Amino acid sequence: MVVVADRSLEIDAWKQAENDDESTHSELQDEQSYLSSLTSSVVNYKYENGRRYHAFREGIYTLPNDKEEQDQMDFVHHIYLLLLGGALYVAPISDPRRVLDLGTGTGLWVNDFADEHPNAEVFGTDLSAIQSPWVPPNVIFEIDDYETDWSYSSGFDFIHSRELMGFIGDHDRFMSQAYENLNPGGWLEMQTTDPTLFSVDGGMERAKILPSYIANLHRASALFGKSMTEVTTWPRRMVRAGFKDVQVQILTLPIGTWPKDPKLKEIGKFQQVQIAQAVGAYTPALYTRVLKWTREEINDLCAKVRAELQDRSLHLYLKVHIVIGRKP
């Protein structure tokens, strides 16, 4: 996690007028009412299957937002840094002034980007208020849903998202709104892991649990209205929305230490831990809400899935897709 040093406590130069007591009291009452509403609609989290979920626009997102999931989000951020050689993005941006991160989670990407680009105003939006209050001065976090109408006051030079596969209902609308909210010359970058498992030597054919588990995950996400299999359509959807210079990078994300390459071996070591945690995040909501499994059945399934994911002989890996496009 990012730790920001304590800032010196300074007194604001503003002075209260002698007759300001009444107006200040009224302002405090208004703020109290607002905070009460915020607590009710955003922070009154929901619990099911032993996990905590978002309250704002309840039920539209199937991953939890509890401490366990927040730790996993931070772990994923670390893995992406390893994959990209320490880079936060691949788009050829220069001196962006307004930047938007969609589905920001704990906000690590936003904080790191803001540190790298101190002249940029960096916005991060999410359904859950789980971001650290200790952030760079050029960071703004907002509770919002990227699937509703975007209503930003001005355009962005760079829009970024990570791990939104399975969490977008209308992909064409998403691309169009991103396009409309970019300044001319601005870039959209979408990074995501395809949840489909691959192997280099037929390991998936030898696996007993994983093929049906992944198939059911895909089926449940499609029935939920947010398919996990749309990543290969992103480039043409970007083109359809008006983007130019659309490019795709596909990176190998091994599971375990089986690769010979030292860098991939290190990445695989971390990914093996991460995916074991991810099973407990991705499975419960989709399997109970959509497939109607019981909590006991899910716990048993997750244990078997985790065990098979630890099988080094299967030589499993995932594909990370990075898709970028420029608004002319």
Please report whether residue 18 resides in a domain. no
| Range with lowest mean pLDDT among 8-22, 155-169, 244-258 | 8-22
Please report whether residue 38 resides in a domain. no
**Helices 295-309 + 210-224 axis angle, to 10:** 130
CA 11 – CA 306 distance, rounded (Å): 53
The predicted model gives 47-57 an average pLDDT of 86
Please report whether residue 91 resides in a domain. yes
Please report whether residue 54 resides in a domain. yes
Name, in order, each residue with C-beta under 8 angstroms of 118's C-beta and a sequence gap of 6 or more. Answer: 136, 138
Q: Is the pLDDT of residue 258 over 90?
A: yes
Please report whether residue 21 resides in a domain. no
pLDDT at res. 21: 46
Q: Look up residue 76 and give its two tokens.
A: 């994923």
The predicted model gives 200-225 an average pLDDT of 95
Please report whether residue 214 resides in a domain. yes
CATH of the domain at 270: 3.40.50.150
Of the candidates 36, 215, 75, 55, the residue with the CA atom closest to the CA atom of residue 127: 55
Total structural domains within the chain: 1
Q: Which segments within 127-218 are labelled E, that is strand?
A: 139-143, 156-162, 182-199
The phi and psi torsions of 87 (rounded to 5 degrees) equal -80, 150
Q: What percent of the chain has pLDDT over 90?
A: 77
Q: Is the pLDDT of residue 65 over 60?
A: yes
| Range with lowest mean pLDDT among 15-29, 73-87, 126-140 | 15-29
Say if residues 238 and 309 touch (Cβ distance below 8 Å): no
Please report whether residue 201 resides in a domain. yes
Please report whether residue 151 resides in a domain. yes
User: In terms of residue numbers, what domain contains 183?
Assistant: 45-326
